[in-house]
Amino acid sequence: MIHKSLPKIWYGGDYNPEQWGEKEWSEDIRMFKLAGIDVATINVFSWALNQPSENTYNFEWLDATIERLYQDGIYICLATSTAAHPAWMAKRYPDVRRVTFDGRKRQFGGRHNSCPNSPTYRTYAERMAQQLGERYKNHPAVLIWHVSNEYGGYCYCENCQKAFRVWLKDRYGSLEAVNEAWNTRFWGHTFYEWDEIVAPNGLSEEWKNGQNTNFQGISLDYRRFQSDSLLDVFKLERDALKHHTPDIPVTTNLMGLYPELDYFKWGKEMDVVSWDNYPSIDTPVSMTAMTHDLMRGLKSGQPFMLMEQTPSQQNWQPYNALKRPGVMRLWSYQAVAHGADTVMFFQLRRSRGATEKYHGAVIEHVGHEHTRVFQECAQLGKELASLGDQVLDSRVKAKVGIVFDWENRWAIQLSSGPSISLDYVKEVHKYYDAFYQKNIPVDMISVDEDLSQYDIVVAPVLYMVKEGYADRLKQFVKNGGTFVTTFFSGIVDERDLVTLGGYPGELRDLVGIWAEEIDALHPSHYNEIKFENAYGSLNGEYKCNILFDLIHAEGAEVLATYGSDFYQGMPVLTKNAYGEGNAYYVASSPDQPFVQDFVETITADKGIKGEFVSAKGVEVIAREKFGEKYLFVMNHNTETSSFELGETVMVDQITNETYNGTAQIKSKDVLILKEMN
């Protein structure tokens, strides 16, 4: 629970008053009040201002800013300013500057630009956190610490290379074990001394900016290592802050499906997860929903913070579409519906110069409140104020878990063959979307998550099976669970070494099949999934593409077979009874109608239903606490749409209007329904 001193959905966002003067500051406060803004994230990019030279610190401006805001009832999400190092530091200490994928030493510039293994960066970042912790530990305005900003990017410098060797020693114990893990007899890459190991990049094993590698083992480990290195600098700052303020929560803003960091590992180190939501105008709403659920999953279902979203448009997309009227509000509530306890923006006042001057903000360049964007923000601010603490700390309760794993994702992406068109996130989303369309809540879970809380667990393309995981899945199915996995699963262990003896390796007896070969065809080429007999809602013929496992049933029941090619008649969908439960294997990448009918079938079998039926495009999801259920109904369509409440009479917590029977919801509108008592 992060909302002790401000028990409502926090409303505000990034605020950079250091880019402005007194005239704007007083206008800012006036307009924040008009908009119901009560939290400002400050000090994100002010390292150069806070530490103008090596031994001088200057926090007067920050003292004054915090004071000014707090006097007017605005609380602070206090960043540590370490997301971009000062120019003097880059000049004096080259080690803070990263080395790029192609081996070039960076100059000063940009942001997210510090090497995580630079002694200078580590020293000064930690010291900055100490200074801030010490200085503001008793300030009642400070609600939460925001360490750095959107950690990301890899470095390939000498210091990283050295630290990588240490990391490897730690993980493997010996050079022999490293050689074995990476299968270095291949192409004669055997290492005899630790310092023969170099970073895998464009000068060594990788090409296409790390999309391709000769050695999956070293590339996979370098990703783990860089993710750990950045996590380590986060921990340095976190611990420095915790030393002074053990009770103030610490977060750093994540980026949803960002590929480079293993966020499940990060989530464990953060008090509260926060993330920045920037969908494009054509991002499917179910993809955004899935990403929220993934961020909620990082801390096993605890509420998270929506740290940033744009009130209107971004600047960094090729085409920066405005959020249409109502959409900012709709997407804000979508975040809340999926577990966010804050609604925050980037940013509160739009910059005047540099790269983000065309990025939307609550206060636009015109400088007054008479804009569409401001009015929509103010409307939402009013609503969030009136909701008070109602939904705070409530939970989404799901009986379905979908497995997501960053290391598996890296391994699939780095794999040379069988197909460049295999996209892990897309395959996961395919299944997610089918549950989403039926308003069935889903938890996005790590491979560490306790499975016993679920009736159904889906692990699309579980290519890498980590130590002990197959046994845990077996236990889950033995106890009556329904497990679904797909083609190209059970292939390798954590080292990316193939599990010998037939695919899908350790999952083989669980799913009761053997995959003898894997065919990969151009994605425009389809095969068919054919049902001789209907199975639940599955019937007739569907299409599949990308990869085609040629499988033999070894005890599993064959539910459907391939319709064409030389493997026509071989199984493509199987079901294996295992203990009290069932394990399904989907041997190819199916079309959406298949996934929908399949999900319909397995959920019906388990008696899992969505909250209630709604028109396509009307999303329904519940948050619960103290036995109360808050049903968020969100219409993503461009027209009024309907949903079915039946006999139950429900009250919208925003407008107090009552609903029952076949109810209507306007385009882009949101209802938060609670049963009338």
User: Hey, which residues are catalytic here?
Assistant: 150, 308
Which residue of 28, 38, 150, 364 would you call a contact of ligand GLA, by CB under 6 A?
150
Cα separation, 432 vs 557, whole angstroms: 25
Cα separation, 135 vs 65, whole angstroms: 14
Specify the residue, 151 or 469, whose C-beta has the smaller distance to ligand GLA: 151
Specify the residue, 70 or 278, whose C-beta has the smaller distance to ligand GLA: 278
Indicate which of ligand GLA, Zn ion, none lies near residue 150 (CB less than 5 to 8 Å, by partner kind): ligand GLA
Distance of closest approach, residue 346 Cβ to ligand GLA, in angstroms: 4
Which residue of 359, 409, 606, 623 would you call a contact of ligand GLA, by CB under 6 A?
359
- Number of amino acids touching ligand GLA (CB under 6 A): 9
Indicate which of ligand GLA, Zn ion, none lies near residue 359 (CB less than 5 to 8 Å, by partner kind): ligand GLA
Which residue of 28, 205, 237, 276 would you call a contact of ligand GLA, by CB under 6 A?
276
Which residue of 50, 149, 413, 415 would you call a contact of ligand GLA, by CB under 6 A?
149
Q: What are phi and psi of 439, to 5 degrees?
A: 60, 30
- Assess 278 for contact with ligand GLA (CB under 6 A): yes
- Assess 499 for contact with ligand GLA (CB under 6 A): no
Specify the residue, 346 or 476, whose C-beta has the smaller distance to ligand GLA: 346
Specify the residue, 159 or 274, whose C-beta has the smaller distance to ligand GLA: 274
Three-state DSSP at 12 gives strand
Specify the residue, 144 or 168, whose C-beta has the smaller distance to ligand GLA: 144
Three-state DSSP at 495 gives coil
Q: Cα 352 from chain centroid?
A: 31
Specify the residue, 98 or 474, whose C-beta has the smaller distance to Zn ion: 98
Distance of closest approach, residue 45 Cβ to ligand GLA, in angstroms: 7
Residue with tokens 């009986």: 399
Residues found near Zn ion in the complex (CB under 5 A): 115, 117, 155, 157, 159-160
Residue with tokens 């695919």: 503
Residue with tokens 């993934």: 294
Decide if 163 contacts 195 (C-beta within 8 A). no
Residues between 174 and 233 that touch ligand GLA (CB under 6 A): none
Cα separation, 303 vs 300, whole angstroms: 9
Specify the residue, 119 or 540, whose C-beta has the smaller distance to Zn ion: 119
- Assess 308 for contact with ligand GLA (CB under 6 A): yes
Distance of closest approach, residue 323 Cβ to ligand GLA, in angstroms: 13
Cα separation, 352 vs 21, whole angstroms: 12
DSSP secondary structure code for residue 635 in this structure = E
Which residue of 346, 548, 585, 643 would you call a contact of ligand GLA, by CB under 6 A?
346
Cα separation, 360 vs 314, whole angstroms: 6
Indicate which of Zn ion, ligand GLA, none lies near residue 419 (CB less than 5 to 8 Å, by partner kind): none
Indicate which of ligand GLA, Zn ion, none lies near residue 346 (CB less than 5 to 8 Å, by partner kind): ligand GLA
Decide if 59 contacts 135 (C-beta within 8 A). yes
Specify the residue, 359 or 623, whose C-beta has the smaller distance to ligand GLA: 359
Indicate the residue type of 569.
G
- Assess 314 for contact with ligand GLA (CB under 6 A): yes
The tokens describing 348, both together, are 């509160």
Distance of closest approach, residue 146 Cβ to ligand GLA, in angstroms: 10
Cis geometry, peptide bond prior to residue 347 (ω within 30 degrees of 0)? yes
Cα separation, 610 vs 601, whole angstroms: 13
Distance of closest approach, residue 125 Cβ to ligand GLA, in angstroms: 17
Residue with tokens 């306890």: 341
Indicate which of Zn ion, ligand GLA, none lies near residue 115 (CB less than 5 to 8 Å, by partner kind): Zn ion
- Assess 496 for contact with ligand GLA (CB under 6 A): no
Distance of closest approach, residue 311 Cβ to ligand GLA, in angstroms: 11
Nearest to 508 by CA among 517, 495, 499: 499
Distance of closest approach, residue 112 Cβ to ligand GLA, in angstroms: 9
Nearest to 636 by CA among 282, 281, 285, 280: 285
Q: What are phi and psi of 635, to 5 degrees?
A: -95, 105
Distance of closest approach, residue 6 Cβ to ligand GLA, in angstroms: 22
The tokens describing 230, both together, are 């950045």
Indicate which of ligand GLA, Zn ion, none lies near residue 670 (CB less than 5 to 8 Å, by partner kind): none
Length of the chain counted residue by residue: 677
Beta strands in 263-390 (DSSP E): 274-276, 304-308, 340-345
Cα separation, 515 vs 587, whole angstroms: 9
Chain residues that interact with ligand GLA, rule: CB under 6 A: 149-150, 276, 278, 308, 314, 346, 356, 359
